[in-house]
Amino acid sequence: MTTPLLELSGLTKAYPGVVANSEVSFDIARGEVHALLGENGAGKSTLVKTIYGLVQPDAGTMRLDGQPFAPPEPRAARAAGVAMVFQHFSLFDAMSVAENVALGMETPPALNRLAAQIREVSQSYGLPLDPDRIVGDLSAGERQRVEIVRCLLQEPRLLIMDEPTSVLTPQEVQILFETLRKLRAEGVSILYISHKLEEIRTICDSATILRHGKVVGKCDPKVTAARDMAEQMVGATLSTPSRAGGRTGEVVLELTGLSAPAPRAFGTALKHIDLSLRAGEVLGIGGVAGNGQDELAMALSGEMSVAPGMIRLKGREIGTVGVNARRRMGLLCAPEERMGHAAAPDMSLTENALLTAGPREDLVRHGFLRWGRARGFAERVIERFDVRTPGAGTAARALSGGNLQKFVIGREIMQRPEVLVVNQPTWGVDAAAAATIRQALLDLAEAGAALIVISQDLDELMEISDRFAALNGGSLSAPRPAEGLGIDEIGMMLGGAHDMTPAHGEG
Amino acid sequence: MSNIDPILLLSAIIIVSTPILLAAIGELVVERAGVLNLGVEGMMITGAVCGFIAATSTGSPWLGFAGAALGAALLSMVFGVLTQLFLSNQVATGLALTLFGLGLSALLGQGYIGVKGPVVPDLYLPVLRDIPFLGPVLFRHDAMVYIALFIVLGVWLFLNRTRSGRVLRAVGENHDAAHALGYKVVRVRLLAIAFGGACAGLGGAYLSLVRVPQWTEGMTAGAGWIALAIVVFASWRPGRLVLGAWLFGGATALQLALQASGGVQIPIEYLQMAPYLATILVLVILRAGRAPGSLGRSFHASS
C-alpha cells in the first residue's frame, strides 16, 4: 500500500465556548472521492479551512504525501496542490470570469492567455465558460464552474468541494459528477463535503462522519444505507413528516400575469406568472437560485408593489397593498434570509415577534406596544417549536441558524395564516429541526391554510408539496401534481441545463 | 458676458479643478478598496497647512508638497487604524476626521496667517506653449497640474492593468471572498487609505501654495466634499473623474469670471452657490454606476 495523499491526525481547534474539531484523524487516499459528512455545526467547515490554511489548528498534525504539512495561509496550501471550491462562492460580481480566475492563482498569466486556457480547460472537462462575461450576470451553476475551473487550472492534487450541489439542477449535478469522475481517473483526490446522502452514495469511495467536532464513524457509502449514515450524523433516529391526505377547498390566492422588473442590479424580472392556489394545498416552487425566487416572494409579501389586479387574495385585488395590510388580510410571508430580513439580529425575540405579529395578534394598541402580550406570544412560539434559547429576551443574533429559523417560521405559523409563503424554510437547518419545520407546515395545510413553499431542496419539495412548479428566468412553469414526478421531468422543468454537455473522454 | 476671455476662462478651469481632482483620485482608490472615508475635507485642509508650513520653512514648494502628502497621509492613518483595526464605524469616523482636521490645521497654522509663501513657477514647455489657443489653455501651468493628471493615468493603469490593482478591486468588491483566497484585506485597505490621504494632502497644498497662495483657516471651503461627490459622479472610474472635476472647475471658474466682469446684476451669493448646485444637479440627473460591493462595510476575519 502506498502512503495516503493526506493524513490528518489528532486535529483539534477550539473557539471561545465551542470546540469545533476534537482529535479528528482520517486519511485521504490518492485518486479517491472522500466524503466528509455531518450536520451544520459538526465542524466540517473548520476542518477544511484548516487543510486550506485559513485556520491554524490548536493541536494535531497533517501530512501531505508523507511530508509534514502545516499551511500558514491559503497561498501555501495552493502551492502544495490543495484547491478549494467554496460553498458561498468566493467570487467578485463586478469582475469578469478571467479576472476572477486570475485572483485565485499564484502567478496568473496575462489575461488574454488566461482566457484561452480557461476555454481549453472548461471545454475538456465539459464545463463551458466564456472568460469575458461578468460574473454578476452568471447563473449559480455557471458561477460554480468558474470556481472549479479556477481550481483545475492549478492542477491540484487535492480538490476540496464544500456542498457543491446545493445550487445545481439535477442535470448540472450529473455533469459535475462526470467532471469529478474524470478528475479521479487522472489521480486527483477529492474531499467532498455534503449532507445529501444519495449523492454521496453515488460519487464517493469512502466517508468520514463528524458529529460535534468528533469523528463518529467511517464507512463505505456504496454499501451503507443512507438512513444509517443519517442517524450516525444526527446521533438519533429520524422520522419523516407525514400528512393525512389532501382535501383542498376554495381558490384563495390568484396570480394573473404577474410581471415586475428586477428590483435591483443582478436581480431577476418576473415574467407573466399565472397561478391559483386553493385552501389546504401546498405548492412547491423549485428552481436554481437567482431565477426569481426572491422577487416572487417580495411581490407576494408586499415588499414589492405590482399592478393591483396581478395578485388577488380571496377575490380582492391586493397588488399595491402594503405588507402589514396583507398580514391583516391573512397573507403571511417568511423570507429566506434569517438575519436582517426575517429577523432583526440585535433585537430580542419578543421584539422580533412584535415586528410581524403586531397586526394579527393584537400586540399594538393605539400606537403603544403591549409588551406582556408580545412576550407571551414569543414564549408560545419558543415552546411549540422547541426553539433552544434561554428565553424570549435573548437577541436573535445569539441563536443558531436552525433555532432562529424555527422561531421565524413558527412566528408566522402561530398567527394562523390563510396563505403562507415561505422561502427556503429549512436552508442551513439541521435534519431534526428541518423535520420539525416541515411537519409544522404540513399541519398548517391540514388545518386549511394554503402554502407556497419556495425551496432549492428538491427532496424537501417532493416530500411536502401537493403540486410542483419551477421558476426559470423569472417565469413559472405550469404546476404539476408532485406525486409520481420523476427527477428527469423536474430537471426539464427547472431547465437550467442549457449549454452543458457531459465531459468528453472516459467517464 | 462679452468681456470674459475664453482663453483665461478655460485656463482657470484647469487650475480650479486640480485640487479637487487630486483629492478625488485618492478617494476613488480608497473607495475601490471598499472603504468610505468621509474625512477628505479634513485631510485636504491638513495638507494645505502642512504644505504651507513646509514650503515657507524650507523655501521649496516641492518640499511643501511632499510635507503636505506626508502630513495628510499620517492623519488618514488615524482613520485607518480606527476603522480597520478597531472596526469603528466608517461614516462616523470619517466625519470626525474632517472636524479634527479643521481644528488641527487652524492650530498648526496660527503663526502663518498673512505670511507669503514661495512661488511655484509655471512649467516652461517650449513649442507647446506657443500653440495658438491650446498653448495658453493647456501648456502654461505649473507642474502639479500635469502631475495630477499623471496620477489619474497611473491609477487607471494600476486598477486595470496590474495584479495589485486587481487585488485592490477584489478587496473592495467582496472582502470575505478576498480573505478566503488569502489576500490581506486590512493591509490593502490601510495602504489605500494612506494613498487617499496623500492625494488629499496634495490637493490641499495646491490651494495654499498655488491657487491662493496663502494660508487661511478653512480655506478648502468644501472642496473635499465636492471631491467625494465627484467620485460617485464618476461611477468610481478614473476617466470620468477628470470630466467631473473639470465640470465643477468650469462652473467655479465661470462664476468667478462673471463676478469679475460685473455684467450680471444678481447678488454674488447666487453665483457662489452655482458650482455646488450644478454638481448636485448632475449627480441627481446622472444615474450613478454600481458601487464597490463591500463599500463602507467593516471587515473582521472571524469566520
Dihedral over alpha carbons A61, A63, A69, A73 (to 10 degrees): -80
Q: What residues are paired with A421 via a beta bridge? A: A333, A452
- Let me know whether A428 and A294 are in one domain: yes
Interface contact B182-A103, CB threshold 8 A: no
Of A18, A7, A40, A163, nearest to A429 (Cα)?
A40
- Chain B residues closer than 8 Å to A53 by CB: 182
Whether A41 is in a domain gets the answer yes
How many distinct structural domains can be found in chain A? 2
Interface test with B, best of A92, A112, A137 (most B CBs within 10 A): A92
Residue by residue, pLDDT tens for chain B (303 residues) are 556 788 889 999 999 999 999 999 999 999 999 999 999 999 999 999 999 999 999 999 999 999 999 999 999 999 999 999 999 999 999 999 999 999 999 999 999 998 988 888 888 888 888 888 888 888 889 999 999 999 999 999 999 999 999 999 999 999 989 998 889 999 999 999 999 999 999 999 999 999 988 999 999 989 999 999 999 888 899 999 999 999 888 888 888 888 888 777 788 888 888 888 887 788 778 766 788 888 988 888 754
Residues 6+ apart with CB under 8 A from A375: A350, A392
Residues 6+ apart with CB under 8 A from A150: A83, A100, A101, A104, A105
Of A493, A453, A502, nearest to A473 (Cα)?
A493
Predicted confidence band at A463 (pLDDT cuts at 50, 70, 90)? Answer: confident
- Chain A residues closer than 8 Å to B170 by CB: 92, 95, 103
Interface contact A103-B181, CB threshold 8 A: yes
Whether A243 is in a domain gets the answer no
Round to whole Å and give the CA distance between A284 and A458: 9
Q: Does B297 touch chain A (CB under 8 A)?
A: no
What's residue A241's pLDDT?
64
Listed residues A205, A234, A263: the one ending a domain: A234
Q: Do the beta carbons of residue A446 and residue A279 sit within 8 Å?
A: no
Residue type, A158: L
Interface contact A265-B290, CB threshold 8 A: yes
DSSP letters for A337-392:
-TBTTTB-TTSBHHHHHHHHHHHHHT-EETTEE-HHHHHHHHHHHHHHTT--SS-T
Q: Do the beta carbons of residue A397 and residue A351 sit within 8 Å?
A: no
What's residue A504's pLDDT?
39
Round to whole Å and give the CA distance between A284 and A257: 19
Half-sphere exposure of B78 (CA within 13 A, CB side): 18
- Chain B residues closer than 8 Å to A91 by CB: 174, 177
Please name the residues between 107 and 146 in chain A that touch chain B, using a CB distance below 8 Å: 108
- Let me know whether A413 and A284 are in one domain: yes
Residue type, A89: F
- Chain A residues closer than 8 Å to B165 by CB: none
Round to whole Å and give the CA distance between A80 and A98: 23
Interface contact B182-A265, CB threshold 8 A: no
Round to whole Å and give the CA distance between A359 and A415: 10
What's residue A243's pLDDT?
62
Q: Does B253 touch chain A (CB under 8 A)?
A: no
- Let me know whether A366 and A418 are in one domain: yes
b/e A133-149 (16+ beta carbons within 10 angstroms → b): eebbebbbbbbbbbbbb
pLDDT digits (tens, 9 = 90+) for A438-454: 989 999 998 899 999 99
Q: Does B180 touch chain A (CB under 8 A)?
A: yes
Is the alpha carbon torsion for B259, B264, B270, B271 positive or negative? negative
- Let me know whether A336 and A468 are in one domain: yes
Interface contact A90-B177, CB threshold 8 A: yes
Q: Does B161 touch chain A (CB under 8 A)?
A: no
Give the chain B residue nearest A103 (alpha carbons).
B167
In chain A, pLDDT over 70 holds for what percent of residues? 93
pLDDT digits (tens, 9 = 90+) for A130-179: 999 999 888 777 888 898 898 888 889 999 998 887 777 777 888 889 99
Dihedral over alpha carbons A441, A446, A451, A454 (to 10 degrees): 40
pLDDT digits (tens, 9 = 90+) for A78-122: 889 999 988 766 899 889 999 999 998 878 888 889 999 999 988
Please name the residues between 73 and 92 in chain A that touch chain B, using a CB distance below 8 Å: 73-75, 78, 86, 88-92
Residue A247 reports pLDDT greater than 50: yes
Q: Does B163 touch chain A (CB under 8 A)?
A: yes
Interface contact A93-B173, CB threshold 8 A: yes
Cell numbers placing A50: 484548516
In chain A, pLDDT over 90 holds for what percent of residues? 41
**A to B CB pairs, distance under 8 Å:** 52
Whether A1 is in a domain gets the answer no
Listed residues A183, A206, A234: the one ending a domain: A234
Interface contact A92-B174, CB threshold 8 A: yes
The values of phi and psi at residue B266, to 5°, are: -130, 155
- Let me know whether A364 and A283 are in one domain: yes
- Let me know whether A209 and A284 are in one domain: no
Round to whole Å and give the CA distance between A363 and A360: 8
Range of the structural domain that residue A39 is part of: 6-234
Interface contact A92-B180, CB threshold 8 A: no
- Chain A residues closer than 8 Å to B167 by CB: 103
Residue A503 reports pLDDT greater than 50: no
For B173, which of A54, A92, A104 is closest by C-beta distance?
Answer: A92
Whether A16 is in a domain gets the answer yes
- Let me know whether A29 and A86 are in one domain: yes
Q: What residues are paired with A159 via a beta bridge? A: A83, A190
Whether A505 is in a domain gets the answer no
Residue A27 reports pLDDT greater than 70: yes
E-only strand ranges, A100-184: 158-162
Cell numbers placing A24: 479528528
- Let me know whether A270 and A144 are in one domain: no
- Chain B residues closer than 8 Å to A78 by CB: 182
Longest pairwise C-alpha distance within chain B:
66
The predicted complex's ipTM stands at 0.82
Cell numbers placing A129: 465558460
Interface contact B178-A103, CB threshold 8 A: yes
Min Cα distance A423 → chain B (Å) is: 24
Q: Does B60 touch chain A (CB under 8 A)?
A: no
The values of phi and psi at residue A386, to 5°, are: 55, 50
Min Cα distance B301 → chain A (Å) is: 10
Round to whole Å and give the CA distance between B142 and B228: 25
Helices (H), A104-256: 111-124, 140-152, 170-185, 197-203, 226-234
Whether A404 is in a domain gets the answer yes
Of B148, B157, B154, nearest to B245 (Cα)?
B148
Whether A500 is in a domain gets the answer no
Rg (CA), chain A: 24
| Residue A48 CB coordination number (10 Å) | 21
Q: Does B293 touch chain A (CB under 8 A)?
A: yes
Which DSSP symbol is given to A93? T
Cell numbers placing B70: 506626508
Round to whole Å and give the CA distance between A154 and A157: 9
Q: Do the beta carbons of residue B4 and residue B257 sit within 8 Å?
A: yes
What's residue B168's pLDDT?
97
What's residue A499's pLDDT?
34
Of A390, A396, A360, A395, nearest to A377 (Cα)?
A360
Q: Do the beta carbons of residue A297 and residue A311 sit within 8 Å?
A: no
What's residue A43's pLDDT?
84
The values of phi and psi at residue A304, to 5°, are: -120, 125
What's residue A498's pLDDT?
37
* Better-predicted residue by pLDDT, A398 or B48: B48
- Let me know whether A336 and A267 are in one domain: yes
- Chain B residues closer than 8 Å to A95 by CB: 166, 169-170, 173
Q: Does A13 touch chain B (CB under 8 A)?
A: no
Interface test with A, best of B181, B237, B295 (most A CBs within 10 A): B181
Q: Does B31 touch chain A (CB under 8 A)?
A: no
Give the chain B residue nearest A71 (alpha carbons).
B182
The CATH code of the domain that includes A153 is 3.40.50.300
Residues 6+ apart with CB under 8 A from B273: none
Q: Does B287 touch chain A (CB under 8 A)?
A: no
Helices (H), B207-267: 223-233, 238-261
Q: Do the beta carbons of residue B231 and residue B266 sit within 8 Å?
A: no
Q: Does A154 touch chain B (CB under 8 A)?
A: no
For B173, which of A86, A89, A95 is closest by C-beta distance?
Answer: A95
Q: Does A105 touch chain B (CB under 8 A)?
A: no
What's residue A506's pLDDT?
35
- Chain A residues closer than 8 Å to B181 by CB: 74, 90, 103-104
Listed residues A201, A234, A267: the one ending a domain: A234
Please name the residues between 446 and 465 in chain A that touch chain B, using a CB distance below 8 Å: none
Distance between the two ends of chain B, CA-based, in angstroms?
Answer: 64
- Let me know whether A476 and A432 are in one domain: yes
Interface contact A73-B180, CB threshold 8 A: no
- Let me know whether A225 and A256 are in one domain: no
Q: Do the beta carbons of residue A262 and residue A435 sit within 8 Å?
A: no
Q: Does B292 touch chain A (CB under 8 A)?
A: yes
- Let me know whether A99 and A221 are in one domain: yes
Whether A504 is in a domain gets the answer no
- Chain B residues closer than 8 Å to A88 by CB: 176
- Chain A residues closer than 8 Å to B169 by CB: 92, 94-95
